[in-house]
Structure 1
Amino acid sequence: AAEVCESREVGGGGVNQLLSSSVCFDCGIDSLNMLVNQIRSFSTTTQLGSLARWYQKLWRSKGPTNGPPYAHVTQVGDPVLRQKAQLVPPEAVTSPEVRFLVQTMIDVMRKYSCVGLAAPQIGISLRILVMEFKDKLRDEYTSAEYKIKEMDKLPLTVLINPELKVTNYKKKSFTEACASVKGFSAEVPRYSEVLLSGLDENGKSKELTLKGWNARIAQHEMDHLDGVIYTDVMDRKTFSCSCWQAVNANYGRVQIAFHKK
């Protein structure tokens, strides 16, 4: 999920800002098991009725516990982050359930100040990602850092069943973090330029040419859809606690919050 929401840092700044991102749908598609009940306005037409049965078959409620899609970010260790997310069926792309899921992803991404998020990061194993790099983030980096990392504004982007093609195989390494590996970061090599395509929230084809930081966000989020976390491809010697200095300065009295009001 990017925490590239993974956290705002798929790279870095003085205080590591995690970029969070992340996605999943296997034989049971347990990730979506609570969605039908949460969408009270679900239509009973023949077409949507078949979709309802599809969702109910894929989702298995496990009781009155908090179920996905979550309003928080799932953490490493959750099986959903290691599943290869399934494609969203064509007839479901513009369904009320998927629209609800997409809006939840956007809300969580913004709530946790992420630049990207994949559906598995809120407990849903489907191939959906959202990204957004606001212009105001420029103030959180030095001019030199903004330039060397090739950062640029990226309007809110929603892609369903996305595909990524590398267009420049030159790799660059910068610090990344992930909202699903809260409190840590590491240097990760990524391709310089990519072509990202898929369907938007209205079912229309969309294609983006991305380079630099935005290409990094896209790769981070696409990894989430394949069950890959940045720790799988990082330079292991650079893996570190993002707040280690604060831990020392405060005699260890530091807490990492997994919930944000």
Structure 2
Amino acid sequence: MGVLRKTLNWYARLSPKHGASAPPFSHVVQIGDPTLRTVSHTVPIEKIKGEVVQNVIKKLQDVLFRYGSVGMSAPQIGINLRIFAMRHTAEQIASVQPEVAKMKGMSVVPYTVFVNPVLKVIDYQKVIHTEGCESVRSFAADVARYRAVEVSGWNAEGEPQSQVYTGWPARIVQHEIDHLDGKLYTDIMDRKTLHCTCWDEVNLSKGKVAIPFAPESV
């Protein structure tokens, strides 16, 4: 409890410097935030082009790119609407060893927004890979996901769209739709594999590691 109090006091000292903010946030909320455990609301189709929804979509794009992520859902920026954005660039894939990228089925995905996505499983075979989340910062675990899925919904312009994803893109989609249903990968992970992704840096620095919850550019 002493460590928890020190942590809370440290964050409390930050608050006056930054002031209060309201969603949609420019940061990603963290596990424990009630938004992440709330089933998101369907967006009325006629309101997709409206200012409120478009503002959420724009903020999703901003946060997705600032964090260098491959997927981001509206609940992660504090809004319980059924919207998510995804992308996987050639540069992001190149940062992974070629054999690993091939094994995980990684492929380029252009920036895409789904509003009110509906998931259909195409291939029920599940594949296990290590997965992380910007809302569970600096942790990862093994998670089983379906190999191929189809997603139907609307794009940012309010037009219907449907796309089949396989391999890693299918994992991104399943991860983000879970967020819209109030779920986290920690609900379905292999609990024994949960680990801090910077555990070795913690040891090398003798515990003097601060985990950033947002890029400095935010």
How far 1:204 moved relative to its partner?
0.5
Matches within 5 A, 1:90-239: 90-239=45-194
Q: Which residue of 2 aligns with 1:15?
A: none
Matches within 5 A, 1:3-82: 65-82=20-37
How far 1:201 moved relative to its partner?
0.6
Q: Per-residue CA shift, 1:153-210, capped at 9, x if unaligned?
A: 0000001000000000000110000000001000000000000110001110111110
Q: Per-residue CA shift, 1:215-258, capped at 9, x if unaligned?
A: 00000000000000000000000000010011011111111011
How far 1:152 moved relative to its partner?
0.1
Q: Which residue of 2 aligns with 1:42?
A: none
Equivalenced residues, count = 198
Structure possessing the higher relative contact order (Cα contacts under 8 Å, 6 or more residues apart):
1
The letter of the residue matching 1:201 is A
Q: Which residue of 2 aligns with 1:22?
A: none
The letter of the residue matching 2:54 is R
How far 1:259 moved relative to its partner?
2.3
Q: Which residue of 2 aligns with 1:84?
A: 39
The letter of the residue matching 2:33 is D
SS in 1 for 2:212: coil
Change (3 A) 1:90 1:138: closer
SS in 2 for 1:213: helix
Which residues of structure 2 form unaligned runs of 5+? 1-18
TM-score (norm 2): 0.89
Q: Percent identity over the alignment?
A: 43
The letter of the residue matching 1:236 is R
SS in 1 for 2:113: strand
How far 1:65 moved relative to its partner?
2.9
2: CA distance, partners of 1:240 / 1:71: 27
TM-score (norm 1): 0.75
1: CA distance, partners of 2:122 / 2:116: 19
2: CA distance, partners of 1:153 / 1:258: 26
Say what the alpha-carbon RMSD is for the aligned residues: 0.9
Q: Which runs of 4+ in 1 moved over 2 A?
A: none
